[in-house]
């Protein structure tokens, strides 16, 4: 009996350790865009380099979807993931998630994970975005703000909307984070 209890204890220990070691920024369940499916960010993305972006469908920066998708496609095999969070905080997102999903998929060919509409600023900011803003000292001031998170869960840097996915500094920082 002691062997059975010991085996059970040691077999569940890695799960317990993983839950405790999960970075705060990933300790959330998020619903996929235009879906009922939820994703445990920790179990899905822990150990990966992330670029977290607040997006909008009707913004001057919306064409950045193309560059974000190209970056994701190029680096996904190196455990790099772009996570998109549509936000209507700046009045440039569709009220209908289906329209947002359609724009992402059909217009820009987005295959990186997109999630439920999310508040990213102010008193209503999603807890994940509060963590990102606190760590960097920068809350999103517009659509397409980007936060780089390394594979250890450290929030590395914030990038303003005007920083394109092809920006040399952003690309260099992503490469450094991937090399850790």
Check if 59 is active-site: yes
pLDDT of residue 136 exceeding 70: yes
- More confident: 128 or 9: 128
Lookup: tokens for 147: 């936060």
Q: Taking residues 119-145, report their average pLDDT.
A: 97
Q: Which of 22, 42, 59, 104 is catalytic?
A: 59
CB 114 within 8 A of CB 81: no
Query: Distance between CA atoms of 180 and 138, rounded to whole angstroms?
Result: 24
Candidates 3.30.950.10, 3.40.50.150, 3.40.30.10, 3.40.50.300; CATH matching 23-179: 3.40.30.10
Q: Taking residues 145-160, report their average pLDDT.
A: 97
Look at 55-59, 74-78, 84-88, 93-97 and tell me which has the smallest mean pLDDT.
93-97
Q: Taking residues 50-68, report their average pLDDT.
A: 97
Q: Per-domain residue ranges for the chain?
A: 23-179
Query: Distance between CA atoms of 72 and 11, rounded to whole angstroms?
Result: 35
pLDDT of residue 80 exceeding 90: yes
Q: Taking residues 138-147, report their average pLDDT.
A: 97
Residue 180's pLDDT is 87
CB 112 within 8 A of CB 104: no
Can you give the pTM of this predicted structure? 0.88
Read off the pLDDT band of 74 (50, 70, 90). very high
DSSP β-ladder status, 155-159 and 49-55 = unpaired
pLDDT of residue 41 exceeding 50: yes
């Amino acid at each position: 009996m002691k062997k059975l209890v010991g085996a059970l204890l040691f077999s569940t220990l890695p799960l317990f350790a993983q839950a405790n070691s999960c970075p705060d920024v990933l300790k959330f369940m998020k619903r996929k865009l235009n879906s009922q499916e939820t994703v445990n960010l920790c179990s899905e993305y822990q150990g990966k380099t992330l670029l977290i972006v607040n997006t909008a469908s009707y913004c001057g920066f919306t064409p950045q979807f193309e560059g974000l998708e190209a970056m994701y496609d190029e680096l996904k095999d190196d455990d790099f993931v772009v996570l998109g969070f549509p936000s209507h905080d700046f009045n440039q997102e569709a009220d209908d998630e289906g329209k947002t999903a359609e724009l992402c998929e059909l217009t820009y060919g987005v295959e990186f994970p997109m999630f439920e509409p999310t508040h990213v600023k102010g008193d209503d900011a999603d807890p994940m975005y509060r963590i990102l803003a606190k760590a960097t000292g920068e809350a999103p001031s517009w659509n397409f703000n980007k936060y780089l998170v390394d594979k250890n869960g450290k929030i590395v840097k914030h990038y303003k909307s005007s920083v394109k996915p092809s920006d040399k500094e952003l690309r260099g920082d992503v490469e450094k984070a991937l090399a850790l």
